[in-house]
């Protein structure tokens, strides 16, 4: 069976998306301008609309999710030699953004069931140099943000939520991005809300929002003269064309989000009933999950000691798409061999050389070898296709 006949393609688009982009081209207003001298309308309107969707007070749109994290760290004053605790199971950008502001990432192992940062291991990593923690909501599954924020506050740390996977995720009554000081989002091509590239930052503090905007737009301040630059800033602005497409795509997201959550629960019931399969467990208190990916863990002994690559190959041969899992950060060459910023002291980090041994990160190292990730768009398929996934996995054991 061919994949394109089984599952929806991604991205999902229609003529409304085409018209949204075409209208910007025809207008000749291809960039947003500045708050006091607005040119295009889409960036400014998208910021309002996405803030409403995430139930946040402020939103600043930026070029991508990586620079969103960098911007927040800079706005929070994180810099030279500061340590920032990051989940070990995430895309490299969660940590490379820390390196970009001349700070030092410190990696925290994960919970074996929820696959997100283990809050119980967090405090043991705090040193006199620690300034912040980045809570990565992998697959849209929220970190235990109430407990994390309580521990961070006790230790005087800033909290950044990496919500690249978590558009629409909600934990104990709050949307992702609203628990910490700020939340960052990605709209890269594979994300559940996408314009090919793009990013956003949400927060609820007026002064921090002003600082975030200033960092992202050349040190400018809202309402001030265009060529006044009040502090260090760079150009991370989102293009008007991307914002127009995001506005159109955002209209589709609530229905897609609801369907993903319904189908995720259904598929979890099917897969968890298979001996040797365990689906990523929603964090206690998670009310909605963005489900950018849908991970499950397999026990090789129940599947004739099949490898991860062998498991993926069998799924792909049967028309079921899979995503590559992120390698644990401690395994990446740039961290294992400390190929990072010159003149920054990384020797106190918990990675590099012998410190990058898998035995020091036991949970994520094990999970990585036994996990499969289905892309989010399989959750937009009908129940028959979800049954087919379960049936295919059941037959892999024979």
d(CA 93, CA 67): 9
CA distance 317 to 310: 11
Residue with tokens 């961070």: 152
Structure tokens at 153: 């506050």
Flag whether pLDDT at 76 surpasses 70: yes
User: 238, 68 in Cβ contact below 8 A?
Assistant: no
pLDDT, one tens digit per residue, over 381-391 is 999 999 999 99
* Residues in Cβ contact with 253 at an 8 Å cutoff, skipping those fewer than 6 apart: 53, 167, 168, 192, 193
Largest CA distance in the chain: 70
Task: Give the pLDDT score at 5.
Answer: 67
Domains of the chain are 3-249 (3.40.640.10), 253-396 (3.90.1150.10)
Stretch 364-375: mean pLDDT: 98
Query: Does residue 19 have a pLDDT over 80?
Result: yes
pLDDT tens string 231-255: 999 999 999 999 999 999 999 999 9
Distance between CA 118 and CA 150 in Å, rounded? 14
- The whole-angstrom separation of Cα 335 and Cα 338 is 5
Cα–Cα distance between 257 and 372 in angstroms, integer? 21
Report the 10 Å Cβ neighbour count for 205. 13
Say if strands 277-279 and 199-203 run parallel, antiparallel, or are unpaired. unpaired
Q: How many CB atoms lie within 10 A of CB 172?
A: 14
**Torsion angle of C-alpha atoms 170, 171, 175, 181, degrees rounded to 10:** -150
Pull the structure tokens for residue 307: 């490898």
- pLDDT of 36 reads 84
Model pTM score: 0.97
Give the mean pLDDT of 204-220. 97
Share of the chain above pLDDT 90, in %: 96
Phi and psi of 34, rounded to 5°? -130, 165
What are the residues whose beta carbons fall under 8 Å from the beta carbon of 68, sequence distance 6 or more?
A: 62, 184, 185, 186, 199, 200, 201, 236
Instruction: Identify the pLDDT of residue 348.
Output: 95
The predicted-structure confidence for 266-324, as pLDDT tens digits, reads as follows 999 999 999 999 999 999 999 999 999 999 999 999 999 999 999 999 999 999 999 99
Distance in Å from the first CA to the final CA of the chain: 19
**pLDDT of 2 strictly over 80:** no
Residue 1 has pLDDT above 80, yes or no: no
Which of 129, 128, 139 is closest to 87 using CA atoms? 139
How far apart (Å, rounded) are the C-alpha atoms in residues 268 and 140?
A: 15
Confidence of residue 398 (pLDDT cuts 50, 70, 90): low
pLDDT tier at 6, thresholds 50, 70, 90: confident
CA 292 from chain centre, in angstroms, equals 8
What is the model's pLDDT at position 3? 42
- Percentage of residues in the chain having pLDDT higher than 70: 98
**For 167-188, what is the mean pLDDT?**
98
Give the list of residues 6+ apart from residue 120 with CB closer than 8 angstroms, or none: none
């Amino acid at each position: 069976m061919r994949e394109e006949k089984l599952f929806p393609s991604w991205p999902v688009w229609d003529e409304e998306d085409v018209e949204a982009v075409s209208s910007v081209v025809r207008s000749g207003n291809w960039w947003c301008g500045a708050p006091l001298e607005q040119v295009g309308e889409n960036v400014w309107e998208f910021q309002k609309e996405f803030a409403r969707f995430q139930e946040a007070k402020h939103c600043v749109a930026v070029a991508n999710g990586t620079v969103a994290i960098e911007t927040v760290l800079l706005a929070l004053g994180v810099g030279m030699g500061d340590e920032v605790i990051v989940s070990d199971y995430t895309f490299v950008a969660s940590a490379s953004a820390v390196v970009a502001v001349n700070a030092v990432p410190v990696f925290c192992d994960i919970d074996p069931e929820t696959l997100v940062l283990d809050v119980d291991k967090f405090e043991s990593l705090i040193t006199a140099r620690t300034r912040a923690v980045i809570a990565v909501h992998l697959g849209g599954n929220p970190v235990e943000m109430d407990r994390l924020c309580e521990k961070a506050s006790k230790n005087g740390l800033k909290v950044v939520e990496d919500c690249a996977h978590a558009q629409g995720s909600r934990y104990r009554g709050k949307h992702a991005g609203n628990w910490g000081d700020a939340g960052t989002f990605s709209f890269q091509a594979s994300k559940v809300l996408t314009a090919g590239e793009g990013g956003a930052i949400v927060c609820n503090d007026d002064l921090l929002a002003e600082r975030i905007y200033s960092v992202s737009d050349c040190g400018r301040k809202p309402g001030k003269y265009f060529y006044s630059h009040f502090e260090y800033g760079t150009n991370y602005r989102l293009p008007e064309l991307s914002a127009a497409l995001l506005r159109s795509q955002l209209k589709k997201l609530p229905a897609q989000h609801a369907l993903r959550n319904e189908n995720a629960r259904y598929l979890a019931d099917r897969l968890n009933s298979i001996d040797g399969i365990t689906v990523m467990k929603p964090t206690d208190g998670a009310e909605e999950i963005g489900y950018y990916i849908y991970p499950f863990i397999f026990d090789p002994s129940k599947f004739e000691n099949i490898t991860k690559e062998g498991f993926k190959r069998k799924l792909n041969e049967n028309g079921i798409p899979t995503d590559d899992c992120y390698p644990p950060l401690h395994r990446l060459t740039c961290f294992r061999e400390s190929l990072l910023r010159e003149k920054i002291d990384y020797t106190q980090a918990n990675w590099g050389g012998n410190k990058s041994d898998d035995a020091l990160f036991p949970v994520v190292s094990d999970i990585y070898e036994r996990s499969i990730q289905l892309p989010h768009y399989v959750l937009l398929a009908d129940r028959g296709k979800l049954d087919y996934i379960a049936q295919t996995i059941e037959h892999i054991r024979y």
